[in-house]
Amino acid sequence: MKILVLGSGGREHTIIWKLKQSSLHSKIYCIPGNGGISEDAICEPSIKISEFEKIYDFILENKVDLVVVGPEQPSVDGIKDYLSKYNIAVFSPTKTQALLEGSKVFAKKFMYKYGIPTADFVVCNTYEEAKKMLKEMFKKYPEGVVVKADGLASGKGAVVCDTIEKAEGVIYDIMVKKIFATAGEKIVIEKKLKGIEISLIACCDGETILPLTHSQDHKQIYDGDKGPNTGGMGAYSPLGFISKKLEEKIYNQIIKNFLLGIKDSYLNYCGIIYFGLMIENLAKENEQPYVLEFNCRFGDPETQVILPLLKNDLLEVIISTIEKKLKDIKLSFYNKSACCVVMASKGYPQEYETNKEIFGLEEVKKLKDVIVFHAGTKKVKNRYFTSSGRVLGVVGIAENLKEAVERSYFAVEKINFENKYYRKDIAKKGFSIMESIYDNI
């Protein structure tokens, strides 16, 4: 079987790494790929993932049987619809299905209609309306609101506002200055929730939904969750603080209602669905999960810790999803923990340095239970150089989380490039949450 993976980050490297282990595949291609991916797949860096026609030509030329889409943009832009016209199998939701990520208004209305717990919200279509609604929302929720641009805004479209003045500025920027262009034509204003954020990724074929193991991202650039948001500076899985009772609540209130909703609305969602969750009052009597967002793809870096723990053949899972046979699949995971530390370029998430040579990768390759996924590298004559903000995801796997964390940091210290930056506290919040739960018992 010939598989084409679209994307160029750590998530795509992980998907390819896992697909390579399948007994079913014959050849893997990647558009555009990166330096590290080029060791595991045939990369075609001259094509952009927005160039659907060129992708189609590539598919024909190389007789590709299956396309696996990594990031959200091609799905939101309708790559599945485009390639399906030519009877090509694509692992991605359709353009309409991807509205669950591509439109916050669509997602919030969907959640409201199908009883999926989410923060109380209003939709505003004009700047005048938004200014008026903002006053009302602040009266109701004086602790703060979150303003969200409707469309995709490179991860910058949701702004937590503790004061009305800040929110007014955000709304002005989005709706008058149009900093996100048409993505900001409508906005959502919602109650600010407090709690613990977790990620839950599931595979769905429209009839059956199979959750993978849960994980936690570290979005901010600095230790202690300080500083500006990034694409994600590290992750770990599974989460020791998710009780059976909470898992059941998530299943009964969120997963089940999601499935009910996609059937009732004829959305028939098919692909990966990512639930960004906020757990309020964790481990208390009134513990409650809420959905903050849907993503129509695997999370990054979450995928880097989830797929190494998955026992199943990923290609089999993907084919079963496309053929709507997920009911025949049972997912299982190794009884281990995984931790991913992202190594980034100096300056990220603002303007960052590139073209720094990376040393130590060969040595780290020899370490047991350590995997290095490439996110922003290029390979020049067997030497690797940094080429983006997030450079590498260094994953440690072990019997327990503590050892997994130690293993990944041991490897991180062996990898060097000028001005390398990484957070020193990945998974630390997981240990603190568990300690606080035990203290309250």
The CB-nearest residue to ligand GLY is 299
**How far is residue 353's CA from residue 407's CA, in Å, rounded to a whole number?**
27
Q: Which residues ranging from 103 to 132 are in contact with ligand AMP (CB under 6 A)? A: 119
Place of tokens 């639930």: 275
Question: What DSSP designation does 356 have?
Answer: P
Q: Which residues ranging from 203 to 222 are in contact with ligand GLY (CB under 6 A)? A: 217
**How far is residue 2's CA from residue 367's CA, in Å, rounded to a whole number?**
31
Question: 160 by DSSP, 3-state: which?
Answer: strand
Question: What DSSP designation does 418 have?
Answer: T
319 binds, among ligand GLY, ligand AMP, none (CB under 5 to 8 A by kind): none
**How far is residue 328's CA from residue 325's CA, in Å, rounded to a whole number?**
6
CB-nearer residue toward ligand AMP: 167 or 371? 167
CB-nearer residue toward ligand GLY: 56 or 421? 421
Question: What DSSP designation does 28 have?
Answer: E
Q: Which member of 295, 304, 345, 408 binds ligand GLY (CB under 6 A)?
A: 295
394 binds, among ligand GLY, ligand AMP, none (CB under 5 to 8 A by kind): none
In angstroms, what is the minimal distance from the CB of 212 to ligand AMP? Answer: 19
CB-nearer residue toward ligand GLY: 22 or 299? 299
Amino acid, single-letter form, for residue 398: A
The verdict on 234 binding ligand GLY (CB under 6 A) reads no
**How far is residue 431's CA from residue 241's CA, in Å, rounded to a whole number?**
9
Q: Which member of 150, 190, 205, 302 binds ligand GLY (CB under 6 A)?
A: 302
CB-nearer residue toward ligand AMP: 216 or 386? 216
In a 10 Å sphere around its CB, with 0-12 CB exposed, 13-18 middle and 19+ buried, how is residue 300 labelled? buried
Written as six digits, the tokens of 289 are 């999960």
CB 26 within 8 A of CB 39: no
The verdict on 146 binding ligand AMP (CB under 6 A) reads yes
Q: Which member of 31, 292, 375, 391 binds ligand AMP (CB under 6 A)?
A: 292
The verdict on 313 binding ligand GLY (CB under 6 A) reads no
Choose the binding region for ligand GLY from 52-60, 164-172, 298-306, 402-410 (rule: CB under 6 A).
298-306
**How far is residue 148's CA from residue 328's CA, in Å, rounded to a whole number?**
39
In angstroms, what is the minimal distance from the CB of 389 to ligand GLY? Answer: 14
Choose the binding region for ligand AMP from 192-200, 301-309, 315-323, 402-410 (rule: CB under 6 A).
192-200
Q: Which residues ranging from 240 to 279 are in contact with ligand AMP (CB under 6 A)? A: 276
300 binds, among ligand GLY, ligand AMP, none (CB under 5 to 8 A by kind): ligand GLY
CB-nearer residue toward ligand GLY: 232 or 289? 232
> Which residues lie below 8 Å from residue 353, measured CB to CB, with a gap of 6+?
345, 346, 347, 386, 418, 419
215 - beta bridge partners?
199
197 binds, among ligand AMP, ligand GLY, none (CB under 5 to 8 A by kind): ligand AMP
CB 375 within 8 A of CB 10: yes
The verdict on 401 binding ligand AMP (CB under 6 A) reads no
**How far is residue 104's CA from residue 83's CA, in Å, rounded to a whole number?**
26
CB-nearer residue toward ligand GLY: 22 or 213? 213
CB 339 within 8 A of CB 403: no
**How far is residue 9's CA from residue 390's CA, in Å, rounded to a whole number?**
8
Written as six digits, the tokens of 22 are 């399948």
Would you tell me which residues interact with ligand AMP (CB under 6 A)? 119, 146, 148, 158, 160, 190, 192-193, 197, 276, 292-293
Q: Which residue ranges make up the site for ligand GLY (CB under 6 A)?
A: 217, 232, 295, 299-300, 302
